[in-house]
Structure 1
Amino acid sequence: GGRIINILASTVYQPIPNLVLSGVTRMGVVAYMKTLADEVGRDGILINNVCPGSILTERMLSNVTARAKELKISVDDALAQRGAETAVGRIGDPKEFSPLIAFLASGRSSYITGTTMLVDGGLVRSVL
């Protein structure tokens, strides 16, 4: 047995303009992993995808910093704008993302496979 946990992006639920290749590639991973989960589940291998939204990582800070320069605003203001896009009104901390990964990697998730989960503070407006 074992676990495969893919870290993708919330864009698998809500595409972003001008990122066609990224969106198509990530959706391909979702479809591939769903099919693979069906094929290896009886061997005790569980496969899931986790899609972070606005989580304050180094990459996100770099993107927000570039956006702040483009808009001629402070990085703090750009972060606040980004956080305001979520239902909870703020950007997430990596500590809010990692517990789901730890759970999926644990034995307590033994009946969860073939799923794609969001950790996005309500950023994605999709119902499903």
Structure 2
Amino acid sequence: MDLQLSDKTIAVGGATSGLGRAVAEALLAEGATVIGIARTQQDLNKMGAVAGAKFIGYAADLTDATAVKHLAAFLNEHKIYACVFNAGGPPTGRVEDLDMNDWDDAYRSTFRWKIQLTNALLPAMKEKAEGRLLFLESVSIKQPIDNLVLSNAMRAAMAGFVKTLSREIGEQGITVNILAPGYHATPRITTVLEKSAEIQGLDLSAVESQFAAETAVKKIGQPADFATMAAFLLSPAANYITGQTITVDGGLVRHITG
């Protein structure tokens, strides 16, 4: 299926690692121009050397409001069609493990910058009457994950924002969705597995087996499994899908609406 992305420019956060990299690679394979965003210019340069001329690297710390302002100006100059909002999640921990500084940091790293960047990108998308805003969050929106209270809370807040925004701008040709990963083989899931292993006093392989057993398919997913759905939601073919939180989780979530 031709996703009709060869003439589109799409920004992807966290583009040098994990799910963000998988999404960037899937979009490049579809012929899109990708503006990859990450903290480290060296990592972006390495990816660009492999990806070729259709990859543009942009280094930014998304917790810095000034950096987000400059990023938005850069993306608007490039007349992007879509933006994938993605960055590393907040630290693991239970409610009693965390203080208010942890909560403030989680707000900045997982919530605030997304609102700021969205507001900066919307005017240009409205003018063109087309666009895609895709937020990579977590299945914790539908089923909270143990030892991840910061993520559980902030991702749920993003779901409220996305649903509201989709209703406000739906008539203007812009879709707004959440793609929610379950357990995929990324550096982030390794951190979660290590925390769980520490709490349970088990080795990492035993905990990984536990996590895989929670899914319907009995295995940890690969980033490419996730990226194919992202590419579709970013394409013109998905013009009637908005305001949704779609899980790609191997059947992890047990709620009947998935």
TM-score surpassing 0.5? yes
Which residue number in structure 1 is paired with residue 242 of structure 2? 113
CA RMSD of superposed structures (Å) = 1.8
Please tell me the residue identity of whatever aligns with 2:138: A
Partner Cα distance (1:46, 1:120) in 2: 22
How many residues of Structure 1 are paired with residues of Structure 2 in the alignment? 128
Partner Cα distance (2:211, 2:231) in 1: 27
Cα shift at 1:42: 1.4
Cα shift at 1:23: 2.4
Q: Do the aligned partners of residues 70 and 31 (structure 1) sit closer, same or farther apart at CA in structure 2, a change above 3 Å counting?
A: closer
Partner Cα distance (2:190, 2:159) in 1: 26
Partner Cα distance (2:207, 2:150) in 1: 26
Q: Deviations over 1:25-55 (max 9, x none)?
A: 2222111111111111211110000111111
Q: Do the aligned partners of residues 16 and 34 (structure 1) sit closer, same or farther apart at CA in structure 2, a change above 3 Å counting?
A: same
Please tell me the residue identity of whatever aligns with 1:95: A
Which residue number in structure 2 is paired with residue 8 of structure 1? 137
Task: Pick from 179, 199, 220 the counterpart of residue 91 of structure 1.
Answer: 220
Partner Cα distance (2:156, 2:197) in 1: 29
Q: TM-score, normalised by structure 2?
A: 0.46
Q: TM-score, normalised by structure 1?
A: 0.89
Gaps of 5+ in 1: none
Tell me the secondary structure at the aligned position of residue 217 of structure 2.
Answer: coil
1:37 corresponds to 2:166: yes
Partner Cα distance (1:10, 1:81) in 2: 17
Partner Cα distance (2:212, 2:201) in 1: 18
Which residue number in structure 2 is paired with residue 53 of structure 1? 182
Higher relative contact order, structure no. (Cα contacts within 8 Å, ≥ 6 residues apart): 1
Partner Cα distance (2:141, 2:190) in 1: 21
Partner Cα distance (1:73, 1:106) in 2: 43
Task: Pick from 59, 63, 66 the counterpart of residue 192 of structure 2.
Answer: 63
Cα shift at 1:22: 3.1
Cα shift at 1:119: 0.6
Partner Cα distance (1:125, 1:76) in 2: 24
Tell me the secondary structure at the aligned position of residue 6 of structure 1.
Answer: strand
Deviates more, 1:109-118 or 1:19-28: 19-28
Please tell me the residue identity of whatever aligns with 1:38: R
Gaps of 5+ in 2: 1-129
